[in-house]
Amino acid sequence: MALVLAAVLLTALPDDGEREGGDACAPHSVASWSADDGLNAEFARYGDDPARADDWTGGDGTHSVRLPDGRLLWLFSDTYLGRVYAPPNPFGESVAWRDTTAPLVRNSAVVMRDGRLERTLPAPLFADPAPNQWRWPVGARVEPRSPGSSEQVLRVLLWVRTAGQAPWIYGVPTATEVATLSLPDLRVESVVKVLDQQLVPDPSRRVLFGTTLVEEGGWTYVFGGDDGQAASRPASRAYVARVPEGRLAEPGAWEYWNGSTWAGAGARPGAVLGDGQRTGVGSAFSVARVRGTYVLFTMAAGTKGLTTVTSYWACAPTGPWHGPARNFSPSLPQGAQVAAYNPQTHPELSDGGRLVLSYDVNWLETAGAAAQLNRNVSLYRPRFVTLKVTPTR
Protein backbone atom coordinates (compact mmCIF):
# COMPACT_ATOMS: atom_id res chain seq x y z
CA MET A 1 0.00 0.00 0.00
CA ALA A 2 3.01 2.30 0.17
CA LEU A 3 2.92 2.48 -3.63
CA VAL A 4 1.62 5.86 -4.80
CA LEU A 5 -0.56 5.67 -7.88
CA ALA A 6 -1.98 8.45 -10.01
CA ALA A 7 -4.76 8.51 -12.55
CA VAL A 8 -6.85 11.09 -14.34
CA LEU A 9 -10.58 10.47 -14.70
CA LEU A 10 -12.07 12.21 -17.71
CA THR A 11 -15.78 12.96 -17.90
CA ALA A 12 -17.57 14.12 -21.02
CA LEU A 13 -19.28 17.48 -20.70
CA PRO A 14 -23.07 17.36 -20.98
CA ASP A 15 -25.05 19.46 -23.39
CA ASP A 16 -25.90 22.92 -22.08
CA GLY A 17 -29.51 21.88 -21.74
CA GLU A 18 -28.55 19.16 -19.25
CA ARG A 19 -26.65 21.40 -16.85
CA GLU A 20 -28.20 22.32 -13.53
CA GLY A 21 -27.17 24.33 -10.53
CA GLY A 22 -25.59 27.25 -12.40
CA ASP A 23 -22.00 28.20 -11.63
CA ALA A 24 -22.04 26.30 -8.31
CA CYS A 25 -22.05 22.98 -10.15
CA ALA A 26 -19.45 21.80 -12.64
CA PRO A 27 -18.18 18.48 -13.96
CA HIS A 28 -15.73 16.97 -11.46
CA SER A 29 -13.34 14.06 -11.60
CA VAL A 30 -10.40 12.63 -9.70
CA ALA A 31 -7.22 14.42 -10.72
CA SER A 32 -4.93 12.22 -8.61
CA TRP A 33 -4.95 9.75 -5.79
CA SER A 34 -2.48 8.10 -3.45
CA ALA A 35 -2.45 5.53 -0.69
CA ASP A 36 -3.25 6.94 2.76
CA ASP A 37 -0.36 5.29 4.55
CA GLY A 38 -1.34 6.68 7.97
CA LEU A 39 -4.82 5.15 8.03
CA ASN A 40 -3.64 1.90 6.48
CA ALA A 41 -0.94 1.56 9.13
CA GLU A 42 -3.32 2.40 11.98
CA PHE A 43 -5.82 -0.30 11.04
CA ALA A 44 -2.95 -2.78 10.66
CA ARG A 45 -1.60 -1.82 14.09
CA TYR A 46 -4.95 -2.19 15.81
CA GLY A 47 -5.98 -5.35 13.96
CA ASP A 48 -2.66 -7.09 14.64
CA ASP A 49 -2.55 -6.16 18.35
CA PRO A 50 -2.45 -9.49 20.27
CA ALA A 51 -3.16 -7.92 23.66
CA ARG A 52 -6.94 -8.60 23.63
CA ALA A 53 -9.07 -11.46 22.40
CA ASP A 54 -12.41 -9.64 21.97
CA ASP A 55 -11.60 -6.77 19.63
CA TRP A 56 -11.78 -6.12 15.88
CA THR A 57 -9.22 -7.90 13.72
CA GLY A 58 -10.86 -7.47 10.32
CA GLY A 59 -14.14 -6.53 8.68
CA ASP A 60 -15.87 -5.02 5.68
CA GLY A 61 -18.75 -2.63 5.01
CA THR A 62 -16.58 0.26 6.21
CA HIS A 63 -18.49 3.42 7.25
CA SER A 64 -17.62 6.25 9.63
CA VAL A 65 -19.28 9.10 11.51
CA ARG A 66 -17.88 11.97 13.60
CA LEU A 67 -19.34 12.22 17.11
CA PRO A 68 -19.94 15.56 18.87
CA ASP A 69 -17.03 15.02 21.29
CA GLY A 70 -14.58 14.59 18.41
CA ARG A 71 -14.37 10.80 18.42
CA LEU A 72 -14.74 8.95 15.13
CA LEU A 73 -16.92 5.84 15.11
CA TRP A 74 -16.13 3.18 12.52
CA LEU A 75 -18.96 0.80 11.60
CA PHE A 76 -18.40 -2.60 10.02
CA SER A 77 -20.53 -5.43 8.68
CA ASP A 78 -19.22 -9.02 8.99
CA THR A 79 -16.35 -8.81 11.47
CA TYR A 80 -13.67 -11.12 12.83
CA LEU A 81 -12.88 -10.83 16.53
CA GLY A 82 -10.42 -12.80 18.61
CA ARG A 83 -6.69 -13.10 19.01
CA VAL A 84 -4.16 -12.46 16.27
CA TYR A 85 -0.84 -14.28 16.31
CA ALA A 86 2.47 -12.89 15.18
CA PRO A 87 4.14 -14.31 12.06
CA PRO A 88 5.13 -16.75 10.82
CA ASN A 89 1.79 -18.50 10.33
CA PRO A 90 1.46 -22.31 10.38
CA PHE A 91 2.35 -22.35 6.67
CA GLY A 92 5.68 -20.66 7.28
CA GLU A 93 4.55 -17.34 5.73
CA SER A 94 5.60 -14.02 7.28
CA VAL A 95 2.08 -12.78 7.96
CA ALA A 96 -0.06 -12.38 11.07
CA TRP A 97 -2.80 -15.00 11.42
CA ARG A 98 -5.77 -16.13 13.53
CA ASP A 99 -6.89 -19.67 14.31
CA THR A 100 -10.12 -21.35 13.28
CA THR A 101 -11.85 -20.60 16.59
CA ALA A 102 -11.90 -16.84 15.88
CA PRO A 103 -15.51 -15.62 16.19
CA LEU A 104 -17.27 -13.95 13.25
CA VAL A 105 -20.05 -11.48 14.10
CA ARG A 106 -22.46 -9.73 11.74
CA ASN A 107 -21.54 -6.18 12.75
CA SER A 108 -19.18 -4.18 14.94
CA ALA A 109 -18.12 -0.65 15.87
CA VAL A 110 -14.66 0.64 16.69
CA VAL A 111 -13.92 3.97 18.39
CA MET A 112 -11.10 6.22 17.17
CA ARG A 113 -9.78 9.25 19.05
CA ASP A 114 -7.24 11.69 17.63
CA GLY A 115 -6.40 9.34 14.79
CA ARG A 116 -5.82 6.29 17.01
CA LEU A 117 -8.17 3.31 17.24
CA GLU A 118 -8.94 2.75 20.92
CA ARG A 119 -11.54 0.03 21.48
CA THR A 120 -14.18 -2.22 19.98
CA LEU A 121 -17.68 -1.86 21.38
CA PRO A 122 -19.30 -5.12 22.57
CA ALA A 123 -20.12 -7.00 19.38
CA PRO A 124 -22.41 -7.50 17.66
CA LEU A 125 -23.65 -4.00 18.35
CA PHE A 126 -26.97 -4.67 16.58
CA ALA A 127 -28.58 -7.99 17.45
CA ASP A 128 -30.10 -10.24 14.79
CA PRO A 129 -33.78 -9.31 14.26
CA ALA A 130 -34.88 -12.95 13.78
CA PRO A 131 -33.43 -16.42 13.15
CA ASN A 132 -31.51 -16.58 9.86
CA GLN A 133 -31.58 -12.77 9.59
CA TRP A 134 -28.88 -10.25 10.39
CA ARG A 135 -28.16 -6.52 10.36
CA TRP A 136 -25.38 -4.76 8.47
CA PRO A 137 -24.78 -1.12 9.50
CA VAL A 138 -24.27 1.36 6.68
CA GLY A 139 -24.50 5.18 6.70
CA ALA A 140 -24.81 7.09 9.97
CA ARG A 141 -25.20 10.68 11.14
CA VAL A 142 -25.60 12.69 14.32
CA GLU A 143 -28.85 14.66 14.36
CA PRO A 144 -31.32 16.20 16.84
CA ARG A 145 -33.42 13.65 18.67
CA SER A 146 -36.41 15.42 17.09
CA PRO A 147 -36.64 18.57 14.94
CA GLY A 148 -35.51 21.57 16.97
CA SER A 149 -34.31 19.49 19.95
CA SER A 150 -31.06 20.48 21.65
CA GLU A 151 -30.33 16.82 22.43
CA GLN A 152 -28.34 14.94 19.83
CA VAL A 153 -28.43 11.23 19.06
CA LEU A 154 -26.65 8.97 16.62
CA ARG A 155 -28.78 7.44 13.89
CA VAL A 156 -27.40 4.39 12.06
CA LEU A 157 -28.99 2.93 8.92
CA LEU A 158 -29.18 -0.87 8.93
CA TRP A 159 -29.64 -3.38 6.14
CA VAL A 160 -31.59 -6.49 7.09
CA ARG A 161 -30.77 -9.59 5.08
CA THR A 162 -32.16 -13.12 5.26
CA ALA A 163 -30.22 -16.30 4.58
CA GLY A 164 -30.85 -17.57 1.06
CA GLN A 165 -29.65 -19.83 -1.71
CA ALA A 166 -27.51 -18.89 -4.73
CA PRO A 167 -27.30 -16.32 -6.17
CA TRP A 168 -28.18 -14.78 -2.78
CA ILE A 169 -25.12 -16.14 -1.00
CA TYR A 170 -24.77 -12.85 0.93
CA GLY A 171 -28.40 -12.89 1.98
CA VAL A 172 -31.70 -11.83 0.45
CA PRO A 173 -32.37 -8.07 0.85
CA THR A 174 -35.21 -7.73 3.34
CA ALA A 175 -35.60 -4.26 4.92
CA THR A 176 -34.01 -0.94 5.81
CA GLU A 177 -33.99 0.01 9.49
CA VAL A 178 -32.78 2.96 11.54
CA ALA A 179 -31.16 2.50 14.94
CA THR A 180 -31.03 5.33 17.49
CA LEU A 181 -28.03 5.40 19.83
CA SER A 182 -27.65 7.68 22.84
CA LEU A 183 -24.69 10.03 23.14
CA PRO A 184 -22.02 9.99 24.38
CA ASP A 185 -22.34 6.38 25.65
CA LEU A 186 -23.39 4.84 22.29
CA ARG A 187 -26.16 2.73 23.80
CA VAL A 188 -28.68 1.29 21.33
CA GLU A 189 -32.06 2.73 22.34
CA SER A 190 -34.31 1.55 19.54
CA VAL A 191 -34.45 0.09 16.05
CA VAL A 192 -37.24 1.11 13.65
CA LYS A 193 -38.07 -0.43 10.29
CA VAL A 194 -38.45 2.35 7.71
CA LEU A 195 -38.82 0.34 4.49
CA ASP A 196 -39.92 -3.30 4.31
CA GLN A 197 -39.14 -5.03 1.01
CA GLN A 198 -40.38 -8.55 1.73
CA LEU A 199 -43.48 -8.09 -0.45
CA VAL A 200 -41.42 -7.22 -3.54
CA PRO A 201 -41.49 -10.61 -5.30
CA ASP A 202 -38.23 -10.26 -7.26
CA PRO A 203 -35.36 -9.99 -4.74
CA SER A 204 -33.15 -8.31 -7.35
CA ARG A 205 -35.63 -5.39 -7.39
CA ARG A 206 -35.65 -4.88 -3.64
CA VAL A 207 -34.05 -1.59 -2.61
CA LEU A 208 -32.05 -1.09 0.58
CA PHE A 209 -31.26 2.51 1.57
CA GLY A 210 -28.32 3.92 3.48
CA THR A 211 -25.20 3.00 1.55
CA THR A 212 -24.32 6.71 1.74
CA LEU A 213 -25.80 9.87 3.28
CA VAL A 214 -25.41 13.50 2.18
CA GLU A 215 -26.65 16.41 4.30
CA GLU A 216 -27.85 19.51 2.47
CA GLY A 217 -30.32 22.31 3.14
CA GLY A 218 -32.00 20.75 6.18
CA TRP A 219 -32.42 17.37 4.46
CA THR A 220 -30.56 14.10 4.72
CA TYR A 221 -30.35 12.52 1.28
CA VAL A 222 -30.21 8.76 1.68
CA PHE A 223 -28.91 6.78 -1.28
CA GLY A 224 -29.60 3.11 -1.85
CA GLY A 225 -29.33 0.34 -4.37
CA ASP A 226 -30.96 -2.85 -5.53
CA ASP A 227 -29.29 -6.23 -5.79
CA GLY A 228 -29.25 -6.53 -9.55
CA GLN A 229 -25.67 -7.84 -9.47
CA ALA A 230 -26.68 -10.81 -7.35
CA ALA A 231 -28.95 -11.94 -10.17
CA SER A 232 -26.05 -11.79 -12.68
CA ARG A 233 -27.15 -8.54 -14.24
CA PRO A 234 -24.46 -6.14 -15.42
CA ALA A 235 -24.99 -3.62 -12.62
CA SER A 236 -27.29 -2.53 -9.84
CA ARG A 237 -29.33 0.67 -9.93
CA ALA A 238 -29.08 3.65 -7.58
CA TYR A 239 -32.02 5.29 -5.79
CA VAL A 240 -32.41 8.24 -3.44
CA ALA A 241 -34.72 9.24 -0.60
CA ARG A 242 -34.76 12.34 1.58
CA VAL A 243 -35.65 12.92 5.22
CA PRO A 244 -35.93 16.21 7.18
CA GLU A 245 -33.23 16.73 9.78
CA GLY A 246 -34.07 14.99 13.06
CA ARG A 247 -36.55 12.53 11.55
CA LEU A 248 -34.49 9.65 10.16
CA ALA A 249 -36.17 7.25 12.59
CA GLU A 250 -39.70 8.22 11.42
CA PRO A 251 -40.85 6.05 8.50
CA GLY A 252 -43.60 8.53 7.63
CA ALA A 253 -41.07 11.34 7.19
CA TRP A 254 -39.24 9.61 4.37
CA GLU A 255 -39.79 10.74 0.78
CA TYR A 256 -38.65 8.73 -2.23
CA TRP A 257 -37.71 10.00 -5.67
CA ASN A 258 -40.03 8.11 -8.04
CA GLY A 259 -38.44 9.32 -11.26
CA SER A 260 -40.25 12.65 -11.54
CA THR A 261 -41.12 13.89 -8.03
CA TRP A 262 -40.72 13.20 -4.31
CA ALA A 263 -43.39 10.83 -3.00
CA GLY A 264 -44.23 9.69 0.51
CA ALA A 265 -44.28 6.33 2.25
CA GLY A 266 -45.59 3.53 0.08
CA ALA A 267 -44.20 4.99 -3.14
CA ARG A 268 -42.06 2.82 -5.37
CA PRO A 269 -38.62 4.42 -5.72
CA GLY A 270 -37.42 5.17 -9.24
CA ALA A 271 -33.80 4.63 -10.23
CA VAL A 272 -31.66 7.75 -10.63
CA LEU A 273 -28.70 5.90 -12.15
CA GLY A 274 -28.29 2.60 -13.98
CA ASP A 275 -29.47 1.19 -17.28
CA GLY A 276 -28.55 -2.42 -16.54
CA GLN A 277 -25.81 -2.37 -19.17
CA ARG A 278 -23.28 0.45 -19.52
CA THR A 279 -24.12 2.49 -16.43
CA GLY A 280 -24.89 1.48 -12.88
CA VAL A 281 -23.53 0.95 -9.39
CA GLY A 282 -22.48 -1.80 -7.06
CA SER A 283 -25.06 -2.46 -4.36
CA ALA A 284 -22.75 -0.45 -2.04
CA PHE A 285 -21.46 2.90 -3.33
CA SER A 286 -20.74 6.37 -1.99
CA VAL A 287 -21.70 9.97 -2.80
CA ALA A 288 -19.81 13.07 -1.68
CA ARG A 289 -20.64 16.76 -2.10
CA VAL A 290 -17.63 18.55 -3.59
CA ARG A 291 -18.24 22.30 -3.79
CA GLY A 292 -21.57 22.46 -5.64
CA THR A 293 -21.31 19.05 -7.28
CA TYR A 294 -22.37 15.56 -6.20
CA VAL A 295 -19.71 12.94 -7.02
CA LEU A 296 -20.56 9.23 -6.86
CA PHE A 297 -17.95 6.48 -6.50
CA THR A 298 -18.73 2.85 -7.30
CA MET A 299 -17.16 -0.33 -8.58
CA ALA A 300 -17.37 -0.47 -12.35
CA ALA A 301 -20.03 -2.48 -14.14
CA GLY A 302 -19.34 -5.98 -15.39
CA THR A 303 -16.28 -8.05 -14.58
CA LYS A 304 -14.18 -4.93 -14.00
CA GLY A 305 -16.21 -4.46 -10.83
CA LEU A 306 -13.88 -6.89 -9.04
CA THR A 307 -10.92 -4.54 -9.25
CA THR A 308 -11.95 -1.21 -10.74
CA VAL A 309 -13.50 1.99 -9.38
CA THR A 310 -15.32 4.55 -11.49
CA SER A 311 -17.23 7.77 -10.79
CA TYR A 312 -20.22 9.85 -11.90
CA TRP A 313 -21.21 13.44 -11.21
CA ALA A 314 -24.48 15.37 -10.95
CA CYS A 315 -25.80 18.76 -9.91
CA ALA A 316 -28.60 17.29 -7.78
CA PRO A 317 -29.07 14.05 -5.82
CA THR A 318 -31.75 13.00 -8.31
CA GLY A 319 -29.43 13.53 -11.28
CA PRO A 320 -29.07 13.44 -14.15
CA TRP A 321 -25.83 11.58 -13.41
CA HIS A 322 -23.06 11.90 -15.97
CA GLY A 323 -20.45 9.26 -16.63
CA PRO A 324 -19.01 6.77 -16.05
CA ALA A 325 -15.59 8.34 -16.00
CA ARG A 326 -12.40 6.56 -16.99
CA ASN A 327 -11.80 3.66 -14.60
CA PHE A 328 -8.95 3.27 -12.13
CA SER A 329 -7.83 0.25 -10.12
CA PRO A 330 -6.80 0.60 -6.46
CA SER A 331 -3.90 -1.40 -5.10
CA LEU A 332 -4.62 -4.97 -4.02
CA PRO A 333 -2.46 -7.46 -2.09
CA GLN A 334 0.11 -9.05 -4.37
CA GLY A 335 -0.25 -12.73 -5.20
CA ALA A 336 -3.66 -13.11 -3.57
CA GLN A 337 -6.99 -14.01 -5.19
CA VAL A 338 -8.89 -11.04 -3.80
CA ALA A 339 -11.43 -8.49 -4.98
CA ALA A 340 -12.06 -4.84 -4.10
CA TYR A 341 -15.56 -3.58 -3.33
CA ASN A 342 -17.64 -1.04 -1.37
CA PRO A 343 -15.78 2.23 -2.08
CA GLN A 344 -16.81 4.70 0.64
CA THR A 345 -15.88 8.34 1.14
CA HIS A 346 -15.27 9.64 4.66
CA PRO A 347 -16.18 13.36 4.81
CA GLU A 348 -15.05 13.56 8.45
CA LEU A 349 -11.45 13.04 7.27
CA SER A 350 -11.73 15.02 4.04
CA ASP A 351 -10.76 18.61 3.30
CA GLY A 352 -12.06 20.68 0.39
CA GLY A 353 -11.37 18.89 -2.85
CA ARG A 354 -9.42 16.13 -1.12
CA LEU A 355 -11.47 13.10 -0.16
CA VAL A 356 -10.52 10.08 1.90
CA LEU A 357 -11.94 6.93 0.34
CA SER A 358 -11.86 3.38 1.66
CA TYR A 359 -12.42 0.15 -0.22
CA ASP A 360 -12.87 -3.31 1.23
CA VAL A 361 -10.85 -6.37 0.26
CA ASN A 362 -12.00 -9.98 0.42
CA TRP A 363 -11.07 -13.42 -0.88
CA LEU A 364 -12.47 -13.84 -4.37
CA GLU A 365 -13.88 -17.38 -4.03
CA THR A 366 -16.42 -18.14 -1.30
CA ALA A 367 -15.24 -21.74 -0.96
CA GLY A 368 -12.43 -21.82 1.57
CA ALA A 369 -12.54 -18.05 2.10
CA ALA A 370 -12.54 -18.26 5.91
CA ALA A 371 -9.39 -20.38 5.90
CA GLN A 372 -7.61 -17.93 3.62
CA LEU A 373 -8.67 -14.89 5.65
CA ASN A 374 -7.47 -16.52 8.88
CA ARG A 375 -4.22 -17.53 7.24
CA ASN A 376 -3.49 -13.86 6.43
CA VAL A 377 -5.48 -11.40 8.57
CA SER A 378 -4.52 -8.40 6.44
CA LEU A 379 -6.65 -9.61 3.51
CA TYR A 380 -9.99 -8.79 5.14
CA ARG A 381 -9.50 -5.14 6.07
CA PRO A 382 -10.28 -1.78 4.47
CA ARG A 383 -7.64 0.07 2.49
CA PHE A 384 -7.58 3.86 2.25
CA VAL A 385 -6.65 6.34 -0.45
CA THR A 386 -6.74 10.13 -0.64
CA LEU A 387 -8.34 11.57 -3.76
CA LYS A 388 -7.91 15.03 -5.23
CA VAL A 389 -11.22 15.90 -6.90
CA THR A 390 -11.23 18.92 -9.22
CA PRO A 391 -13.45 20.54 -11.88
CA THR A 392 -12.80 19.29 -15.39
CA ARG A 393 -13.55 22.58 -17.15
* 337 belongs to a structural domain: yes
CATH code for position 290: 2.115.10.20
Q: What is the pLDDT of residue 19?
A: 41
Nearest of 79, 81, 80 to residue 54 by alpha carbon: 81
- Which residue type occupies 354? R
Domain residue limits at 82: 16-391
* 87 belongs to a structural domain: yes
* 371 belongs to a structural domain: yes
Q: What is the pLDDT of residue 13?
A: 34
Mean pLDDT of 321-346: 88
Q: Is the pLDDT of residue 393 over 80?
A: no
Q: Is the pLDDT of residue 5 over 60?
A: no
Determine whether 245 is exposed, middle or buried from the number of CB atoms within 10 Å of its CB (0-12, 13-18, 19+): middle
**What single string gives the DSSP state of each residue in 74-133?**
EEESSEE-S--BPSS-TTS-SS-B--TT--EES-EEEEEETTEEEEEPSS-SS--SSTTE
Identify the bridge partners of residue 124 per DSSP, sorted by sequence position.
none
pLDDT digits (tens, 9 = 90+) for 163-178: 999 889 899 999 999 9
In a 13 Å sphere around the CA of 364, the CA atoms on its Cβ side amount to 11
**Residue 194 in contact with residue 210, Cβ under 8 Å?**
no
Mean pLDDT of 308-315: 93
Number of folded domains that form the chain? 1
pLDDT digits (tens, 9 = 90+) for 265-301: 888 999 999 987 788 898 899 999 998 999 999 988 7
Mean pLDDT of 114-142: 97
Is the model more confident about 1 or about 377? 377
**Residue 280 in contact with residue 237, Cβ under 8 Å?**
yes
Q: Is the pLDDT of residue 15 over 60?
A: no
Q: What is the pLDDT of residue 275?
A: 86
Q: What is the pLDDT of residue 367?
A: 78
CA distances from 56 to 74, 157, 175, 321, 366 (A): 11, 21, 26, 37, 21
* 8 belongs to a structural domain: no
Q: What is the pLDDT of residue 240?
A: 98
How many whole angstroms separate alpha carbon 311 and alpha carbon 28?
Answer: 9
**Residue 231: enclosing H or E segment and its boundaries?**
none
Q: Is the pLDDT of residue 7 over 80?
A: no
**Residue 124 in contact with residue 136, Cβ under 8 Å?**
no
pLDDT digits (tens, 9 = 90+) for 176-201: 999 999 999 999 999 999 999 999 99
* 33 belongs to a structural domain: yes
Q: What is the pLDDT of residue 16?
A: 31
* 224 belongs to a structural domain: yes
* 218 belongs to a structural domain: yes
* 6 belongs to a structural domain: no
Q: What is the pLDDT of residue 12?
A: 33
Give the confidence band of 232 by pLDDT, cuts at 50, 70, 90. Answer: low
Q: What is the pLDDT of residue 266?
A: 82
Give the confidence band of 23 by pLDDT, cuts at 50, 70, 90. Answer: low
**Residue 279: enclosing H or E segment and its boundaries?**
none
